[in-house]
């Protein structure tokens, strides 16, 4: 859901500034909360989402406006404080159900899982987003158009809701006293990113934790959180991060014998399988005490990966700013995706170039 003026894109410089502040504070405290390979992969998926979301935002905004114009039961006044308060609560409730569905419905999880693939938890992880998820999330906000919330009000509140969720992706803020009872805080959201059995599929809130408490999905942070997913991606390739979950889901569909079960699979919870489903090839499932995926690339690989990432991000910012249009915009999008895939190859130590040692160190 969005508009031509994208508040999330406008906030990008502040995101990078706050990431720098988090790195500085962590070093002052003597803790490590970032790894270069993981951070570039996180930011790379965020870049892809912004690039591929350019056309999608125009469509989702137009869809909301069309539903509002044709089906709104009333037109709530945009200059009323009550309209804004009601929209704030309604958007946050819609986000809760979208987010919860993204953990409980296979095809939605295939898009959303990108956000959970990191074994770290920091502000860069907040920007680790699926390029495909915006293609599904907008549907959950259409009831607001029918209820009569004006498009501009809804778009602004959705943007505010999204921006709020950036700062809660940190380990450096502990508990926040009485605010924990109402707001979604870093402590609550750390639980959401945990793969500890009691933390899986809990705390889906956007801004207000009251929805989880009301609908039975709340879990407090008690034991230390182990971040990530039970079947890790084990790659720094931002493009593959988006495609891999769909490869897995389509593979499971192909192994499911009955047509009705093939259709049903898309809408069932992750992990569900029909009777007589052909077993997949053995895969890697992480135990809680397994070390994080962390192949060490040599220094030239790291420098080149960082340089390519910066150039790809600069090109993406040109696209977002409207400096590249038409066919050239499509070409730029392909180049950005290829560059970010290349960054992953370099960080995994798998590149081989004449005259340079781009190898994985033992």
CA proximity to 158, closest of 180, 137, 179: 137
Q: Give backbone dihedrals phi and psi of 132, rounded to 5 degrees, phi first.
A: -100, -20
Q: Would you state the pLDDT for residue 283?
A: 65
For residues 236 and 40, the answer to whether their CB atoms sit within 8 Å is yes
Q: Would you state the pLDDT for residue 131?
A: 95
For residues 47 and 238, the answer to whether their CB atoms sit within 8 Å is yes
Beta bridge partners of 227: 194
Q: Write out 122-153 in H/E/C secondary structure.
A: CHHHHCCCCCCCHHHHHHHHHHHHHHCCCHHH
Q: Which residues contact 233 (CB under 8 A, 6 or more apart)?
A: 117, 240, 241, 244, 293
Cα separation values, 329 from 58, 136, 175, 243, 308, Å: 15, 23, 45, 22, 19
Instruction: Say how far apart CA 312 and CA 232 lie, in whole Å.
Output: 26
For residues 196 and 221, the answer to whether their CB atoms sit within 8 Å is no
Cα separation values, 86 from 3, 81, 93, 269, 314, Å: 21, 9, 11, 31, 39
CA proximity to 297, closest of 357, 233, 342, 237: 357
Q: What is the DSSP letter of 231?
A: S
CA 159 to chain CA centroid, Å, is: 15
> How many Cβ atoms sit within 10 Å of the Cβ of residue 348?
21
Burial label, 30 (beta-carbon count in 10 A; 0-12, 13-18, 19+): exposed
Mark 100-123 as b/e (b = at least 16 C-beta within 10 Å).
bbbbbbbbbbbbbbbbbbbbbbbb
Q: Which residues contact 267 (CB under 8 A, 6 or more apart)?
A: 105, 106, 107
Q: Would you state the pLDDT for residue 58?
A: 87
The model's pTM is 0.92
Q: Would you state the pLDDT for residue 47?
A: 96
Output the tens digit of pLDDT for each of the chain's 362 residues. 544 557 777 888 899 999 999 999 999 999 999 999 999 999 999 999 999 988 888 899 999 999 999 999 999 999 999 999 999 999 999 999 999 999 999 999 999 999 999 999 999 999 999 999 999 999 999 999 999 999 999 999 999 999 999 999 999 999 999 999 999 999 999 999 999 999 999 999 999 999 999 999 999 999 999 999 999 999 999 999 999 999 999 999 999 999 999 999 999 999 898 888 777 766 657 777 788 888 989 999 999 999 999 999 999 999 998 898 889 999 999 999 999 999 999 999 876 554 444 444 44
For tokens 């999905």, name the residue.
217
Instruction: Say how far apart CA 158 and CA 35 lie, in whole Å.
Output: 31
Instruction: Say how far apart CA 194 and CA 212 lie, in whole Å.
Output: 16
């Amino acid at each position: 859901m969005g508009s031509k003026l994208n508040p999330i894109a406008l906030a990008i410089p502040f995101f990078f500034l706050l990431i720098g502040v988090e790195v500085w504070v962590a070093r002052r405290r003597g803790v490590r909360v970032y790894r270069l390979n993981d951070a570039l992969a996180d930011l790379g998926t965020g870049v892809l989402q912004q690039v591929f979301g350019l056309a999608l935002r125009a469509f989702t905004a137009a869809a909301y406006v069309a539903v509002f114009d044709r089906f709104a039961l009333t037109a709530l006044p945009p200059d009323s404080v009550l309209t804004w308060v009601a929209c704030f609560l309604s958007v946050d409730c819609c986000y809760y159900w979208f987010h919860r569905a993204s953990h409980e419905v296979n095809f939605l999880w295939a898009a959303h899982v990108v956000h959970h693939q990191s074994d770290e938890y920091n502000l860069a992880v907040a920007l680790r987003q699926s390029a495909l998820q915006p293609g599904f999330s907008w549907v959950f906000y259409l009831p607001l158009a029918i209820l009569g919330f004006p498009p501009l009000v809804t778009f602004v509140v959705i943007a505010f809701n999204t921006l709020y969720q950036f700062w809660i992706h940190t380990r450096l803020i502990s508990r926040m006293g009485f605010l924990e009872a109402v707001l979604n805080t870093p402590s609550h959201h750390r639980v959401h990113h945990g793969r500890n059995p009691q933390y899986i599929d809990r705390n889906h809130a956007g801004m207000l934790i009251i929805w989880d408490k009301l609908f039975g999905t709340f879990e407090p942070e008690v034991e230390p959180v182990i971040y990530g997913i039970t079947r890790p991606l084990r790659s720094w390739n931002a493009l593959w991060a988006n495609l891999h979950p769909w490869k897995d889901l389509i593979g499971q569909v192909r192994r499911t014998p009955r047509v009705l079960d093939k259709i049903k699979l898309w809408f069932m919870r992750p992990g569900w399988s029909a009777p007589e489903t052909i077993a997949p090839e053995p895969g890697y499932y992480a135990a809680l005490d397994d070390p994080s995926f962390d192949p060490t690339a040599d220094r030239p690989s790291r420098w080149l990966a960082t340089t390519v990432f910066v150039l790809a991000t600069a090109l993406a910012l040109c696209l977002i700013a409207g400096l590249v249009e038409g066919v050239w915009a499509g070409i730029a999008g392909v180049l950005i995706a290829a560059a970010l895939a290349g960054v992953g190859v370099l960080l995994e130590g798998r590149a081989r170039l004449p005259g340079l040692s781009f190898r994985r160190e033992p």
